Every structure is written in structure tokens, then in C-alpha cells.
């Protein structure tokens, strides 16, 4: 493994994402790094281009070549390494520092993580990581760092990019009461689980302004959040006025993802035609469309049916939200996405059939992403039938957990093979007394499960420890893919020079028994209660500060920053852009049909206006009867039996020009 | 055997017929035997039959004798915007007979808002006057209300209709919302009807149509561009979902694309009771013609869902038909003259939809599926006749050659080759979407109601001789499984003690359309308390953990909760 050790800090790897669209930096890196010999040649080429002076033997790199940097006053000077002959020093200017405006002055530590195995989504390598000002400054071996740096010995443990939880609801009120985990409790729990960034859902009430709701959320989160965050906006209903707000949100507020609902009839649900318009508009803006995919019409029907049967307990929830309704809506959402040519992101993939639908669509080339959540990967819906009402109600979320106990395994398999891309938590914590609002009617139980703290652990336990997934894919599904889809990459989701210092040291052998007693969440229950989870964070660095160490959390409210996101994420939109170019449709240029036109009363069909239905000049004249065999009208070439008399045709209106010519094939 | 429909049989001077030396092909087996018919019913089958003298004898010479075809989907004499399709019941059934089809099932399409019963009676009147072969009727449900429910019920119970079509397309005209579909399917499932569905997503079609027209595409190619295959597949998927939720047998009319057919075969694999009906056009031709430079030719292919522009579609559909994933072939015969089609010459959304196919149906299947080796002759009988009879609950009166069955049968000439052309077909349409196709396999002789109607290429059909055949509800073919599942699928609530723990305070608001009647039953509201003081726990023994402060809760008068703790 030592082969792959090398320095990371070349000037072309400085945080380009801040200056340019992020595509150039990471893609170069993808190409030029790797630890097979073939990749080394590519690497060499890259190096030659970038540094013509450095054409010395390549074996050195293989031997563990490195570069060292002296750091003084925030300026980077790359100096020749001990074993590097005559390489010109490269000065990295203040640019870097200016770009680090995101740091919290003076608070951030200088950290050196030594002896760890840096695991990104594409490769793993042994390297040290040096962090300053909340940014990763150096990655490599034998780094030269200033004195007084806090050194963390990773002892060969995995060093991974901090997790990104793309689906939390930490401020989503239910009937006026907010969830018990607010941005403080929620992000604390996230950090304890190795997640260093969350993306929360802003859920405006129907009729409420999106912008106002966004600002409300931002205000609350700025005050309370302990880690970086970003926001998705849910669009409760579609009308013309929303468009302007959306435009503003995308262009000024840094939001690039919006959720629409196919469920919650009478509240958030949109009919297909509105979805079509919403998709079309969001696509123009370059946003990712998040879809809550369930057929709300049928759910409403099933709910009243099941209530009518006298089933009022939590088991009514999965009974009225059968798996099929989820799969159906996923299929419909993908169809809409294909039609509009818009990327679709399915939040909360809870069932096998929904996941299969996503996988099939991806095989056909649709740009669609699927997000299973902690709960759907780690537990199943059999608990809805628990005799304990509170326990059963704790599992209520929409779409519901599948009662099929093989579901988690199936979803983990699809996650491992890349058919599902991102794991969220769907963390939306309502206390038992809040859940008890629905004690006599399951449709009133507030929906949501915990999972933000357990997310990374269970992906490791269920997928990596079971051999379905490797550590790189683990990083991809817990962090990198999310960063790519929501255009945060490589600032987030990667350990590389210039990325944010959100780093987790992961211990694959750690064993933890999940219990509500020891969790960070304010909930009095945990749906994973009693489950044993292999793998967990031993050390968490967030924004360059140590926040979790030796099982202890040291967090500060309000330190989290809002991370704005640009539209048109490459991973979703590169294909979309090409397809838009390809897909321009053209009409067939034909002569004008001048044959007979049947006379119809002008009743419009469908909603399309029929302005052209009456353009035939001869409308009211009594049509002369003629035999069709006298016309030279024919549909397919000259006929052998053209002279055979034809049966008499129907009454038709002859145009003034008499016989038609262009309608014959000849 | 007796049939309730028999009283409808007008006394006809039926011939006595003996078909000798034929190979009888049913859907399950083939065997050599003679058939003796009298009074429009098959009386004897076997070798060396003893028959009265003076019987007309037909030598089959070892050719196949098959049950007459049943065309389960036609639109004859269909009124549309003040005009009618050019093939009326006489012209259309003649075309059907000429192709070896001895029974048709036509769709009654009531205007939205009008009575289903009245429309049904009107169709009966039109048909009885002109029809040349036996017929039955589907009724389309174009709008839904409680009044319609009663009409549907009386159609099922008194009028002999067991299949009803609903539309997922034609926005603002026939289209039903998901909730209405749910109610209709539930209702039909309870009363033994078959839910037929025109599966296309009408909402998206309307949007796409506007987009196409805005882009300046007004020709027939706009029709297929605005109704892409996916929308069909999506709607089929949705229909399957709703049907499976409501436990109602589903029949998808006009399966036109590969993806829609795939959805059906997947659903069948999962055990759903769903039948798919490809039509003559989707098996015989494809949608590339929409781009023809000849407007009239392009327009003649306009039907909904459209023919798929993918030229491999017909082959694929006939494969699924042969494997049994698709069940039955209709023709969807609905012919408009070119002048009628030309109503939409400047706007493709105005083109009346429909293609021909009643006459070509049997030959196309023979040519595309049997000659190519995909299907055997028994399966051919199943998809052209027997399955339809089973779905309509007419089996074994129709769809089988057996003693007691109606004497509707066809001597099928496997070697005949004919070229389809509008000049020689029996439809009144001046075009034929299969123009120029050479088809192997054709009827040599057709017997309908015990009378020879096609012999030596000559058609001797008499308008008005056809009878209405009432279909009874709960066809076994569809309902045996449905009934069994109904008995199994009884949902039960979990018996729990009353939840007597704290209930959070909340502002009442109706959610999801469900009334929140029972939300405020907790009687009192008390100041906040810490949850860790409550005996509430979810798992195992408690060790006095230090819990974060809870939220404001309402404590019930009974104090601590017990039944909510696990133990």
C-alpha cells in the first residue's frame, strides 16, 4: 500500500471550486491519481504537463515520494523535499486564505492526523492530513508542519470525509409543535455519529411564502446548528407566484434542491400536470427535484377504508401505505423526469419494489437518484404490529418501513452496487407524547423516525461488515455522492487539499449497542433499540475543530455555517444538458393537405383550442357525392389493380380545388 | 347445457351441417373428428357420426377447424363529434366475418354526464338492426357518481354486461382521477365486473400536446411525440397498482408498446390478476409511418395509445402473446375516413383516433406468431377466441368446439396467402394500415350461428341476424383467484390496551383529508414535566438515565402510563 503514498498539494489542486465551477479540479484528480502502475503513467503525464521541470524518475513516486511545505503566516511555500532534487518552490498565495473566509476566526485548531488510511470514494491510501483554518492544507507523508500543532494518532484507522446527511427535518412542525430534536440536538447527534453536515428540509405550509420560510429556517439553524448545513426547500403547492421565489432562491440564496410531494392529499400533493410544470421549471433553473413518492389519492382511500374497518392503531399506517403505492409513484416520478428531461431524486426509498423501480430506470438511462434512509436499511416494518402502542408508533414514517423483513438486506445490496446512491436519515424526531396525538387514529400520528446518529454506523454494519460494500463505496454513499448530487463536491465529501476539514476517524471494529439511554437525540426512544452496530467514529473533526473525541462531544451552538449550493450539479446535469441538445424535435415538412375535410361542428376536443378546425373554405355547401375510386388518392404507391372499380365511399366534402394531389403517394 | 342467453335467439332457419375430416383445434388440444351441427349448436363430435339425411356436408380435408374468433374490442358505428365511424355494425361485422371472427364485443361510449343505461340501449338498437354476427357490449364509464353506480349495477345484474372501461387519458373529457379509479375498481371488484382500462397518463399528454403545438409540430408525428411510450407504461403500472389494492381483475385495452407489455408481464409474475390486450395494429405494424410525408397516410395510423415508433415492437408483443403474458387480441377497429381524419389536418390533437383491424386480426396473428414458430395452433385459438370467451364468461358456449357450444367455427387454411389492400378489404375505410402486407393463413370457410357465411371467398352475411349475448358477472377465469384472495385478505387490528401515556398539545388541523375527530380526547392539560420522571420506557429495565428535558406534554388524569412500557 505504500506505493500509493504521495503528496497531494500541487498548485493545481488548490481549491479551484471557489474560483471556477468545480468540475475541473476533481476530475483531474480522478484521472491522475491511483495506485496501479497504469495509473502512474497517467499520473506522470499529468505531472509533466503541470510541472515541466520535474521530469525526474518516476520510481521515486512509487517509493513514496512526497513534497513538503513550509507554512508561515498563512502563506504556503512549497520547498524542495528532502529527496526531491531541484524542484522549484511554489508559492501559494493569499488566495487560499481569502477563500477561507468561512472559518471562524481564531477558533480553529491546527491539526495533524497521523498514520491514518485516508479513504475517499475512489481510493484509499496511507497519508497524514494537516488541517488549518478549517481547511485541509496538506495530505501526504512526512508533512512539515509548524510547531504546536495538535497531533492525532490514527494508528492505521480509516480517515474518511465526514458524513453528509441529506435528509433531516429538524424544524418541521407538526400541528404547531416542532420536533424534539431541533438544530442543536439534531446536529449534535449527527456529529456523534460521524456526520459533519446535514441538509435539512424547509417545509413551508401551503400558502406560506417560500422565501420567508427559508429565512425562518436559516435564522433558527444559524443560531443552533453545530455543524455546517444546507437546506432543501419543499414546495407545498404550485402556482405562478412560486416561480419567482424559486428563481430567487436558486440564484441568490444558494438552494439547488426542491422537494415536491406526490402524497399528502389535500395538503402538499400535486397532480401530475403541476408536477410536470414544476419539473420543467426547476430543470430550467438547474435544480435537483426531490420527490416524496407515494400515491396520495390511493392512500387517502385506503386510510378511510382501514379506519372504516375499525383499525386505528399504528398497524393501519403500513396497511394504508402499501409498498405498491410507493413503487407506483416512483415509476410515475421517473416517467415525468424522463419526459421533462430533468434529474429526479427519490427521497426515502423504503421498499424493495421502489428500489427496483429506481434500479430499472437507471439501467434504461434515466437520471434518477435513490435515497434509502437509516431506518429502511437497518430495520423493518414488523414492529407496527407491536402490542406496545408507543413502540409501534415510533416507527411511523412515510413511506412506511416495509413489513417484509428481507427489505433492509435488498436495499443494502442495491446501495452497494450503486443502484441507490445516497443514504439519508430522514431524521424527524417526535416524542412519544407528540406521537400520541394519533393514539386513536393512526392518520394523525406525526411521521418521522430517528437515524441521524446511527446512519453511518448502520451502513457500515449492514453493508461493509457484511461484505457487500467496500470502504470506498461506503464513503461514496455516506458522503461523496451526496456532495456531488447537491454540488458541494469537492469542498465536502472528499479528503483533499482545499476541502473543508470535516474529517472522521472511523474504527471498523468498534461495537456499539444502540439504546435510547445513550443517544444524543432528545427522544425517549430509539427505533434501533438494542441493535448491535459494528463500526463507528472514534474522532470527529468538523470545520477543523475536534468535536468528538474519546466518546465525548464538544460542540458549540451556532458554529454551523449555511453552505450555499450552485445550480446545475455536474453529476446530474451533464447528461441532461447533452440530452436537451439531442432531443429537439422537428415536425415533418409536408405540403398542405388539400384533400376533402369532413364537416364537423366546432366542439373543442380536450383542452386544446381548435382554431384551425374550420379553415377549409367549403363548409356549408352541400357536398357533392363522388366516388373515391375516381380520386387518385391512394396510400401506398401505385396499385396493381388501380382500374378495379371500388366500393362506393362515404360522403365527403370536396375542396374547391377539386382532386387532391399532394395526398397521393406517387 | 343451457344458456340464459338462449331465449334471445330468434328462430332462424338454420342449416344442418356436417364438417368431415377436419382437425379440431381447441385451446387445449387438437384431434381429428367430424362435427355435426343443428340449430346453430354443435350436436355431435366424433368419428362416423350418425346424422340425418339431407345434411350439407363440408369436406375439410384435414384442415384445421377452429372456434370462430372473438374480437373483444371494436368501435363500430361509434359517434364522434357529430359523425360516425364509417364502418357501421353491418359493414364492420362483415369485415370481421371475412377474417374469421364470428363474434364482436363493442364499446358503448356514453357522453360524459349522460346515462349509461340509455347509451347502452341506444347501442343495442343500432346493433340489433344491423349486426351480422353475435355480439356483446362493454360499457365505458366516462364519469363517476353514485347514480352511475346504480346504473352499473343494473347493467351487470339485468343487462348482461360484465366489463366496463375507464379512461386514464383524455383529460377533461373521460379521464378519471386516481381516487375515482379506486372507487370504480372497488365497486366492480365487489360485483364481479372486469375493469378495463385505457392506460395513458392524460395529464402529461395534455402538457406534451401543448408543448408540441407550441414548437410548431402540428402533423400526425405530433401525436406520437406527445404520447410517448413511457406514459402508457406509467399508466399501466398505476392501473395495476390500483387494481391490486382493490382486488379487482384488470384488463388493459390496447397494449401498444414494449414497456407497457413488460409491466403487465411483471405484474402477472407477481400474481396480479391482469390481462393485456394487444391489438391487430400493434402486432402488425409500427409507428414509423407517423413521419410519412403523406399526411393522409400518417393520419390513418393515429390511434391512442399510438403505435410505437420502435420497429421491433410488433415482434416483441407477439412473443409475449405467445408466452401467455398477454392474454387476448382485439382489433380496436375504429375507422374514420380520410376526410374525417382531415379534421385535424392543422392540429394533430383534432385527428379522430382509430385504426382498422377487425378483418386482419386472425391472419396477422397467424402470420406473425404461428408461422414464425412462436406459438402453436392451440395458443392461437386461445388468444383469438378462447381467452376472450373466458374473460367475458361466455366459455364454453363461445371459444370452444364442443358438444353444446354455439356453432361458430372456422376452417382455417394455413397455406393461403393474401395481400392486404384497401381495394379488396370489407371495411368501408378507403385506407388500410396494413396496406401491401402479405399474410399467410386465412379462413377458408366460416360458419356463424350454424350458417355458412364465407365460402370460396364469398361472403353471404345478412344484417340483423346477430344476437346480443349477455355476459354474466364473476367470470371464473378472473374471479376464482380474486375470491380466494378476498377471503385471505381480511385485515385485523392489533388488540392493545388503551394508550394512556402523555399526549402532546397541538393545534388541531385537518391533515390529509382525514377528519381529526378523535384528536382531543385527552381531558386535561398540566404544566411541563420531565420525561425522565415518567415511568415511560421503551426497552428493558431503566437505570435512571439522565435524559434531556422533554417537551410540554399533557398528562392524563390517571398519571403514569403503564401499558406503554415494554416488559
In this prediction the ipTM stands at: 0.73
Using CB atoms, which residue from B218, B339, B566 is nearest to A652? B339
Q: How many domains does chain A have?
A: 1
Per-residue pLDDT, averaged over A519-545, amounts to 93
For residue B94, the surrounding DSSP H or E stretch is: helix B89-98
Give the pairing of strands A75-79 and A90-92.
antiparallel
Asked if residue B399 lies in contact with residue B26, where contact means CB atoms within 8 angstroms, the answer is no
Per-residue pLDDT, averaged over A500-518, amounts to 93
Asked if residue B230 lies in contact with residue B203, where contact means CB atoms within 8 angstroms, the answer is no
Asked if residue B228 lies in contact with residue A339, where contact means CB atoms within 8 angstroms, the answer is yes
Cell matching residue B537: 420506557
CA distance A320 to A302: 5
The answer to whether position A176 is within a domain reads: yes
Confidence of residue A148 (pLDDT cuts 50, 70, 90): confident
Check if A661 contacts B (Cβ < 8 Å): no
Which residues in chain B are contacts of A665 at CB distance < 8 A?
294, 297
- Predicted confidence at residue A641, as pLDDT, reads 53
Q: Nearest CA to CA, how far is A322 from chain B (Å)?
A: 8
CA distance A256 to A249: 8
Check if B340 contacts A (Cβ < 8 Å): yes
Residue of B nearest to A635 (CA): B297
The answer to whether position A118 is within a domain reads: no
The answer to whether position A362 is within a domain reads: yes
Give the residue from B365, B287, B285, B377 showing the smallest Cα distance to B326: B365
- Predicted confidence at residue B484, as pLDDT, reads 87
Residue of B nearest to A588 (CA): B291
Cell matching residue A585: 424535435
Per-residue pLDDT, averaged over A533-548, amounts to 93
> Would you tell me which residues 233-272 of chain A have a C-beta closer than 8 angstroms to some C-beta of chain B?
264-267, 271-272
Locate cell 408536477: which residue?
A275
Which burial class, exposed, middle or buried, applies to A22 when counting CB atoms under 10 A from its CB (0-12, 13-18, 19+)? buried
Q: Nearest CA to CA, how far is B432 from chain A (Å)?
A: 8
- Predicted confidence at residue A332, as pLDDT, reads 94
Instruction: Measure the CA dihedral B534/B536/B539/B541, to 10°.
Output: 40
Using CB atoms, which residue from A386, A587, A610 is nearest to B222? A587
pLDDT of A281 higher than 50: yes
Using CB atoms, which residue from A303, A635, A653 is nearest to B339? A653
Which burial class, exposed, middle or buried, applies to B278 when counting CB atoms under 10 A from its CB (0-12, 13-18, 19+)? buried
For residue A434, the surrounding DSSP H or E stretch is: helix A432-435
- Kindly report which listed range (A588-602, A626-640, B26-40, B330-344) carries the lowest average pLDDT score: A626-640
User: Which domains does chain B carry?
Assistant: 65-489 (3.20.20.140)
The answer to whether position A603 is within a domain reads: no
> Would you tell me which residues 282-301 of chain B have a C-beta closer than 8 angstroms to some C-beta of chain A?
291-298, 300
The overall pTM is greater than 0.95: no
Which residue of B185, B245, B257, B269 to mutate against A (max A Cβ within 10 Å)? B245
B539:A530 CB<8 A: yes
- Predicted confidence at residue A636, as pLDDT, reads 52
Confidence of residue A656 (pLDDT cuts 50, 70, 90): low
Beta sheet of A257-261, edge-to-edge order: A163-168, A195-202, A228-234, A257-261, A288-292, A344-349, A368-372
Confidence of residue A205 (pLDDT cuts 50, 70, 90): confident
Cell matching residue A389: 402502542
- Predicted confidence at residue A50, as pLDDT, reads 40
CATH number at residue A330: 3.20.20.140
CA distance B220 to B241: 32
> Would you tell me which residues 151-190 of chain B have a C-beta closer than 8 angstroms to some C-beta of chain A?
170-173, 177-179, 182-183
pLDDT of A313 higher than 50: yes
Check if B508 contacts A (Cβ < 8 Å): yes
> Would you tell me which residues 423-462 of chain A have a C-beta closer than 8 angstroms to some C-beta of chain B?
430-441, 443-444
Residue of A nearest to B222 (CA): A587
Using CB atoms, which residue from A388, A590, A639 is nearest to B566? A388
Locate cell 354476427: which residue?
B133
Which residues in chain B are contacts of A646 at CB distance < 8 A?
423, 430
Domain of A170 in residue numbering reads as 160-580
CA distance A36 to A122: 13
Tens of pLDDT along A372-382? Answer: 999 999 999 99
Per-residue pLDDT, averaged over A206-216, amounts to 91
Q: Spell out where A111-162 has E strands.
A: 111-119, 124-132, 135-140, 150-153, 158-161
Check if B562 contacts A (Cβ < 8 Å): no
Q: Which alpha helices (DSSP H) does A341-426 contain, by range?
A: 352-363, 374-378, 389-394, 407-416
- Predicted confidence at residue B82, as pLDDT, reads 86
The answer to whether position A149 is within a domain reads: no
Confidence of residue A223 (pLDDT cuts 50, 70, 90): very high
Low-confidence ranges of chain B (pLDDT < 70): 1-14, 507-567
Asked if residue B478 lies in contact with residue B249, where contact means CB atoms within 8 angstroms, the answer is yes
CA distance B94 to A462: 66
Q: How many CB pairs under 8 A join A and B?
A: 349
Of A469 and A32, the structure prediction assigns the larger pLDDT to A469
Confidence of residue A179 (pLDDT cuts 50, 70, 90): very high
pLDDT of A66 higher than 70: no
B503:A443 CB<8 A: no
The answer to whether position A167 is within a domain reads: yes
The answer to whether position A84 is within a domain reads: no
A295:B241 CB<8 A: yes
Asked if residue A453 lies in contact with residue A521, where contact means CB atoms within 8 angstroms, the answer is yes
CA distance A263 to A322: 13
- Predicted confidence at residue A15, as pLDDT, reads 41
Check if B203 contacts A (Cβ < 8 Å): yes
> Would you tell me which residues 449-488 of chain B have a C-beta closer than 8 angstroms to some C-beta of chain A?
none
The answer to whether position A609 is within a domain reads: no
Check if B27 contacts A (Cβ < 8 Å): no
CA distance B255 to B321: 11
pLDDT of A408 higher than 90: yes
A311:B543 CB<8 A: no
Amino acid at each position: 500500500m505504500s506505493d500509493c503514498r504521495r503528496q497531494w498539494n500541487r498548485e493545481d489542486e488548490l481549491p479551484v471550486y471557489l474560483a471556477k465551477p468545480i468540475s475541473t479540479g476533481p476530475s483531474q484528480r480522478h484521472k491522475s491519481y491511483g495506485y496501479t502502475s497504469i495509473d502512474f503513467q497517467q499520473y506522470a503525464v499529468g505531472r509533466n504537463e503541470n510541472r515541466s521541470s520535474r521530469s525526474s524518475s518516476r520510481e521515486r513516486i512509487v517509493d513514496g515520494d512526497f513534497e513538503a511545505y513550509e507554512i508561515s503566516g498563512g502563506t504556503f511555500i512549497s520547498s524542495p523535499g528532502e529527496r526531491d532534487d531541484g524542484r522549484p518552490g511554489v508559492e501559494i498565495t493569499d488566495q487560499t486564505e481569502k477563500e477561507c473566509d468561512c472559518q471562524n476566526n481564531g477558533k480553529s485548531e491546527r491539526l495533524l492526523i497521523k498514520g491514518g488510511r485516508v479513504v475517499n470514494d475512489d481510493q484509499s491510501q496511507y497519508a497524514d492530513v494537516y488541517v488549518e483554518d478549517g481547511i485541509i492544507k496538506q495530505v501526504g507523508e512526512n508533512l512539515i508542519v509548524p510547531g504546536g500543532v495538535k497531533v492525532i494518532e490514527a494508528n492505521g484507522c480509516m480517515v474518511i470525509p465526514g458524513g453528509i446527511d441529506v435528509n433531516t427535518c429538524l424544524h418541521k412542525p407538526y400541528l404547531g409543535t416542532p420536533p424534539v430534536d431541533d438544530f442543536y440536538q439534531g446536529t449534535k447527534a449527527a456529529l456523534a455519529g460521524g456526520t459533519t453536515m446535514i441538509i435539512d428540509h424547509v417545509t413551508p405550509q401551503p400558502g406560506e411564502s417560500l422565501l420567508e420560510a427559508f429565512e425562518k429556517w436559516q435564522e433558527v439553524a444559524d443560531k443552533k446548528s453545530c455543524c455546517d448545513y444546507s437546506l432543501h426547500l419543499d414546495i407545498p403547492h404550485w402556482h405562478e407566484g412560486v416561480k419567482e421565489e424559486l428563481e430567487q432562491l436558486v440564484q441568490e440564496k444558494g438552494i439547488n434542491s426542491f422537494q415536491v410531494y406526490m402524497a399528502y392529499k389535500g395538503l402538499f400533493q400535486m397532480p401530475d400536470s403541476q408536477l410536470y410544470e414544476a419539473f420543467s421549471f426547476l430543470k430550467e433553473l438547474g435544480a435537483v427535484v426531490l420527490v416524496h413518492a407515494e400515491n396520495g389519492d390511493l392512500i387517502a382511500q385506503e386510510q378511510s377504508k382501514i379506519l372504516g374497518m375499525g383499525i386505528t392503531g399504528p398497524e393501519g399506517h403500513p396497511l394504508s401505505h402499501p409498498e405498491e403505492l410507493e413503487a407506483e409513484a416512483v415509476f410515475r416520478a421517473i416517467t415525468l423526469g424522463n419526459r421533462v428531461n430533468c434529474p429526479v431524486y427519490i427521497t426515502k426509498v423504503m421498499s424493495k419494489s421502489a428500489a427496483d423501480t429506481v434500479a430499472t430506470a437507471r439501467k434504461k438511462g434515466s437520471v434518477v437518484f435513490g435515497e434509502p434512509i437509516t431506518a429502511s436499511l437497518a430495520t423493518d416494518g414488523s414492529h407496527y404490529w407491536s402490542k406496545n402502542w408507543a413502540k409501534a408508533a415510533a416507527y411511523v414514517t412515510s413511506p412506511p418501513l416495509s413489513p417484509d423483513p428481507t427489505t433492509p438486506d435488498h436495499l443494502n445490496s442495491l446501495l452497494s452496487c450503486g443502484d441507490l446512491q445516497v443514504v439519508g436519515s430522514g431524521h424527524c424526531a417526535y416524542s412519544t407524547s407528540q406521537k400520541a396525538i394519533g393514539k386513536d387514529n393512526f392518520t394523525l400520528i406525526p411521521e418521522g423516525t430517528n437515524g441521524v446518529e446511527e446512519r453511518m454506523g448502520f451502513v457500515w454494519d449492514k453493508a461493509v461488515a457484511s461484505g457487500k460494500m467496500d470502504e470506498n463505496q461506503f464513503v461514496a454513499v455516506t458522503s461523496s455522492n451526496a456532495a456531488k448530487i447537491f454540488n458541494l463536491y469537492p469542498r465536502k465529501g472528499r479528503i483533499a487539499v482545499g476541502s473543508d476539514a470535516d474529517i472522521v476517524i472511523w474504527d471498523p471494529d468498534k461495537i456499539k449497542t444502540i439504546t435510547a439511554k445513550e443517544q444524543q437525540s432528545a427522544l425517549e426512544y430509539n427505533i434501533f433499540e438494542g441493535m448491535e452496530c459494528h463500526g463507528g467514529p472514534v474522532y470527529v473533526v468538523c470545520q477543523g475543530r475536534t468535536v468528538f473525541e474519546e466518546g465525548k462531544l464538544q460542540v458549540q451552538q451556532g458554529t454551523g455555517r449555511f453552505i450555499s449550493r450552485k445550480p446545475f450539479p455536474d453529476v446530474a446535469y451533464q447528461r441532461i444538458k447533452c440530452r436537451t441538445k439531442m432531443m429537439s424535435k422537428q415536425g415533418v415538412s409536408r405540403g398542405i393537405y388539400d384533400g376533402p375535410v369532413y364537416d364537423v361542428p366546432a366542439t373543442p376536443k380536450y383542452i386544446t383550442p381548435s382554431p384551425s378546425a374550420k379553415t377549409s373554405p367549403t363548409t356549408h355547401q352541400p357536398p357533392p357525392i363522388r366516388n373515391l375510386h375516381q380520386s387518385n388518392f391512394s396510400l401506398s404507391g401505385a396499385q396493381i389493380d388501380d382500374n378495379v372499380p371500388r366500393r362506393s365511399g362515404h360522403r365527403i366534402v370536396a375542396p374547391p380545388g377539386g382532386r387532391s394531389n399532394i395526398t397521393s403517394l406517387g | 347445457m343451457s344458456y340464459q342467453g338462449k331465449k334471445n335467439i330468434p328462430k332462424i332457419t338454420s342449416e344442418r351441417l356436417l364438417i368431415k375430416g377436419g382437425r379440431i383445434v381447441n385451446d387445449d388440444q387438437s384431434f381429428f373428428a367430424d362435427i355435426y351441427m343443428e340449430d346453430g349448436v354443435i350436436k355431435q363430435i366424433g368419428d362416423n357420426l350418425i346424422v340425418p339425411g339431407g345434411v350439407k356436408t363440408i369436406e375439410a380435408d384435414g384442415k384445421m377447424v377452429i372456434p370462430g374468433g372473438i374480437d373483444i374490442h371494436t368501435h363500430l358505428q361509434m359517434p364522434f363529434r357529430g359523425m360516425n365511424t364509417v364502418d357501421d355494425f353491418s359493414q364492420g361485422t362483415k369485415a370481421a366475418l371475412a377474417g374469421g371472427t364470428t363474434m364482436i364485443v363493442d364499446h358503448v361510449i356514453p357522453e360524459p354526464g349522460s346515462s349509461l343505461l340509455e347509451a347502452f340501449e341506444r347501442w343495442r338498437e343500432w346493433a340489433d338492426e344491423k349486426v351480422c354476427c353475435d355480439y356483446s357490449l362493454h360499457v365505458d364509464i366516462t364519469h363517476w357518481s353514485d347514480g352511475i353506480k346504480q346504473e352499473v349495477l343494473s347493467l351487470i345484474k339485468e343487462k348482461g354486461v360484465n366489463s366496463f372501461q375507464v379512461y386514464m387519458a383524455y383529460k377533461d373529457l373521460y379521464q378519471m382521477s386516481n381516487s375515482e379509479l379506486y372507487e370504480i375498481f372497488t365497486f366492480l371488484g365487489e360485483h364481479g365486473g372486469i375493469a378495463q382500462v385505457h392506460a395513458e397518463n392524460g395529464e402529461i399528454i395534455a402538457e406534451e400536446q401543448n408543448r408540441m403545438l407550441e414548437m410548431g409540430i402540428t402533423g400526425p408525428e405530433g401525436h406520437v411525440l406527445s404520447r410517448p411510450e413511457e406514459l402508457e407504461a406509467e399508466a399501466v403500472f398505476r392501473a395495476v397498482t390500483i387494481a391490486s389494492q382493490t382486488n379487482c381483475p384488470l384488463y388493459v385495452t390496447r397494449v401498444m408498446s414494449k414497456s407497457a407489455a413488460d409491466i403487465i408481464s411483471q405484474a402477472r409474475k407477481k400474481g396480479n390478476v391482469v390481462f393485456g390486450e394487444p391489438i391487430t395494429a400493434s402486432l402488425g405494424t409500427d409507428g414509423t409511418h407517423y413521419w410519412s410525408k403523406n399526411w393522409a397516410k400518417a393520419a390513418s395510423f393515429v390511434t391512442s395509445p399510438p403505435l410505437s415508433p420502435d420497429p421491433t415492437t410488433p415482434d416483441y408483443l407477439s412473443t409475449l402473446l405467445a408466452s401467455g403474458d398477454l392474454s387476448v387480441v382485439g382489433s380496436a377497429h375504429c375507422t374514420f375516413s380520410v376526410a374525417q381524419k382531415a379534421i385535424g389536418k392543422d392540429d394533430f390533437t383534432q385527428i379522430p383516433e382509430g385504426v382498422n383491424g377487425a378483418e386482419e386480426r386472425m391472419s396477422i396473428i397467424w402470420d406473425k406468431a404461428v408461422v414464425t414458430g412462436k406459438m402453436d395452433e392451440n395458443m392461437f385459438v386461445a388468444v383469438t377466441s378462447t381467452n376472450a370467451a373466458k374473460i367475458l364468461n361466455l366459455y364454453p358456449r363461445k371459444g370452444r368446439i364442443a358438444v353444446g357450444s354455439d356453432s361458430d367455427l372456422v376452417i382455417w387454411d394455413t397455406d393461403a396467402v393474401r395481400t392486404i389492400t384497401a381495394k379488396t378489404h370489407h371495411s368501408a375505410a378507403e385506407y388500410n394500415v396494413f396496406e401491401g402486407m402479405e399474410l399467410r393463413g386465412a379462413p377458408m370457410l366460416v360458419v356463424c350461428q350454424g350458417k355458412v357465411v364465407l365460402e370460396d371467398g364469398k361472403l353471404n352475411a345478412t344484417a340483423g341476424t346477430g344476437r346480443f349475448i349477455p355476459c354474466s358477472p364473476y367470470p371464473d377465469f378472473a374471479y376464482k383467484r380474486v375470491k380466494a384472495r378476498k377471503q385471505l385478505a381480511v385485515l385485523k387490528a392489533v388488540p392493545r390496551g388503551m394508550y394512556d401515556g402523555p399526549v402532546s398539545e397541538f393545534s388541531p388541523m385537518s391533515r390529509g383529508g382525514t377528519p381529526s375527530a378523535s384528536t382531543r380526547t385527552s381531558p386535561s392539560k398540566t404544566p411541563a414535566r420531565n420525561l425522565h420522571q415518567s415511568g415511560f420506557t421503551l426497552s428493558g429495565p431503566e437505570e435512571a438515565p439522565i435524559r434531556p428535558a422533554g417537551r410540554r406534554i399533557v398528562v392524563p388524569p390517571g398519571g403514569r402510563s403503564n401499558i406503554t412500557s415494554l416488559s
